[in-house]
Amino acid sequence: MKLNFAKYLIIAFLLASCRNQEKEVLEYGLNSKAANDLRVAVHISDFDNYKTFLDRLKEIVCSDSIPKIVLETENKIRNIYPIANCEIPMFHPRFKNTFFIQKDSIVKNERKVKFSELSMRMKQNFENMGEKPDFAESPEKVLFIFEFYRNKGVDGIERYLEIITKSYDSLKTKEDLKITFWPKIDVIIELDNEKLNYDKIE
């Protein structure tokens, strides 16, 4: 009886020790070295839809602070510092530099990227240095853009972020992981007095 009690005591002690272990903290993004008092934590699960999530990122940046998306698992905390602006910058990202994350896929050069091959594709783009036309011009230009509809939910974003950060970790590169979030816009081209008119559909 005493032996069984001792076993239970040891197991309880080990479980308590595991719970008290500090989690490993990993940082991603250009602002990962920003001052702590500028960082504002964002938990994706707090938002009902993509619009309120985008609005919160904008609100933080426009208040001269830095959004920090927090992903927490049993043994790791991943802090992701996305590229965010008060207004979405007006530029057309080159397909060869950009991974697009959509509701059901990651797309590069208009082709779906399997999760199992993502780290390899990232490595090819980080190391290309403009040599092959289908890969990034330079490691500084490699970019991950999330494109979800504003009125849709945020389901899947955390999963994609975990897949991307894990693939990035496997490379052990010193290059920054650049991630940004945009609203998905479907464009219908209409002629308006012989000028192009673009309608947004959400």
For the stretch 81-99, pLDDT in tens is 999 988 877 778 899 999 9
How far out from the chain centre does Cα 161 lie?
4
Pairwise CA distance, residues 39 & 41, whole Å? 6
Q: Please tell me the predicted confidence (pLDDT) of residue 15.
A: 57
**What sign does the CA torsion over 74, 38, 140, 98 have?**
positive
The answer to whether 179 touches 79, Cβ cutoff 8 Å, is no
How far out from the chain centre does Cα 47 lie?
16
Position 27 pLDDT exceeds 70 = yes
Position 193 pLDDT exceeds 60 = no
| Chain segment 58-86, per-residue pLDDT in tens | 999 999 999 999 999 889 999 999 999 88
| Chain segment 115-166, per-residue pLDDT in tens | 999 999 999 999 999 999 999 999 999 999 999 999 999 999 999 999 999 9
The answer to whether 65 touches 38, Cβ cutoff 8 Å, is yes
Compare 128 and 197 and report the one with higher pLDDT.
128
Q: Please tell me the predicted confidence (pLDDT) of residue 87.
A: 80
Please tell me the least confidently modeled range out of 131-145, 168-182, 188-202.
Answer: 188-202
Q: Please tell me the predicted confidence (pLDDT) of residue 8.
A: 56
Q: What is the pTM of this model?
A: 0.81
Q: Please tell me the predicted confidence (pLDDT) of residue 189.
A: 46
Pairwise CA distance, residues 27 & 88, whole Å? 24
- Mean pLDDT (whole number) for 46-66: 96
- Mean pLDDT (whole number) for 179-184: 94
> Which tokens hold the place of 86?
């008060």
